[in-house]
Structure 1
Amino acid sequence: MSIKSSLTVLSLILLLGNTSAVSSKEVSVKTLTKTSQSWDGTELPAYPSGKPEITVLDIVIPAGTELPLHLHPVINAGVVITGELHVTKQSGEQLILKAGDPIVELVHQWHKGKAIGDEDVRIIVFYAGEQGKAITVKKH
């Protein structure tokens, strides 16, 4: 075998070796939440009957900041990426979330959130709304 042929074979072995190493890694899927209820146990409403619109928000709440009282007229769920978030219903019932925690939000219920501690809260939230309709309503 010539040197050129040997180098070609060696290159192919190295290339295929790297390919199999990459393909030996497995895909990992972890269900963070699967429910038909919001975090307080209330049954979620039916999806809107109009033209669907999915909205994904990357929300950052500065440390120590309290959001105003608001509600969501659509189903939404999220995952806290950083920080600690306290969610409080108008009744006073509270949920404490830390990084990695999922939340299925309240629908048609007044609530507020507050970033607790020294770290900003970052939360990714997915809204299953209806085209042209609000996903959040602030209480005046």
Structure 2
Amino acid sequence: MKCLAVGLLASFISTACAQQQTDVTIKQLLSTTTTSGGQKIVLPQKDAELVASIFEIPRGANLPEHEHPYPRYGYILSGSLRVTDTETGQSKTYQSGDFVLESVGRWHTGANAGEEPTRLLVIDIVEKGHTNTVLK
């Protein structure tokens, strides 16, 4: 009888776990082999370090001209961000829910031209101890 009770309990728990697992959804945000500028993705060759940050960019704010020596991944949590390649003059505006893999070694600026603050999740993969933003 104990075996039956234990078996029923185990069955109930595994069914409940299976039901919980079916509620999980996955929305792919991006799948790419290149940056937003069309460059091949190249990771640091030694002592890689991952740095995750949340940037909060006020309405009307402009980011100074800069470049990234390593890959920078960004996800727009809220608001919008216009990124302009200062070498080509091309701009693209990213909205809430967009994921971007920024260009490496390309000078660009960013601007929040929207009506609300922009919150941006940034993930950098750099050589340990190095920064991923170089100002011009």
TM range (shorter): 0.7 to 0.9
- Where 2:56 maps in the other structure, the secondary structure is strand
Name the stretch that deviates more: 74-83 or 27-36. Answer: 27-36
TM-score, length-normalised on structure 2?
Answer: 0.82
* Structure 2 partner of 1:75: 71
- Where 2:63 maps in the other structure, the secondary structure is coil
Q: Distance in 2 between matches of 1:49 and 1:42?
A: 17
Structure 1: tracts of 5 or more residues without a match? 1-12
* TM-superposition CA deviations, 1:81-109 (whole Å, max 9, x none): 10011000012111110000010111010
TM-score, length-normalised on structure 1?
Answer: 0.80
Q: Determine which of 40, 43, 49 is the counterpart of 1:43.
A: 40
* Structure 2 partner of 1:58: 54
Q: Distance in 2 between matches of 1:76 and 1:88?
A: 15
Q: Does 1:93 align with 2:90?
A: yes
* Structure 1 partner of 2:4: none
**1:30 Cα shift?**
2.0
Q: Determine which of 101, 121, 131 is the counterpart of 2:128.
A: 131
Q: Distance in 1 between matches of 2:19 and 2:110?
A: 43
Name the stretch that deviates more: 62-71 or 26-35. Answer: 26-35
Structure 2: tracts of 5 or more residues without a match? 1-8
Name the stretch that deviates more: 68-77 or 33-42. Answer: 33-42
Name the stretch that deviates more: 23-32 or 121-130. Answer: 23-32
* Structure 2 partner of 1:105: 102
What is the CA RMSD across the aligned residues, in angstroms?
2.0
Q: Distance in 2 between matches of 1:106 and 1:133?
A: 17
Q: Determine which of 22, 33, 42 is the counterpart of 2:30.
A: 33
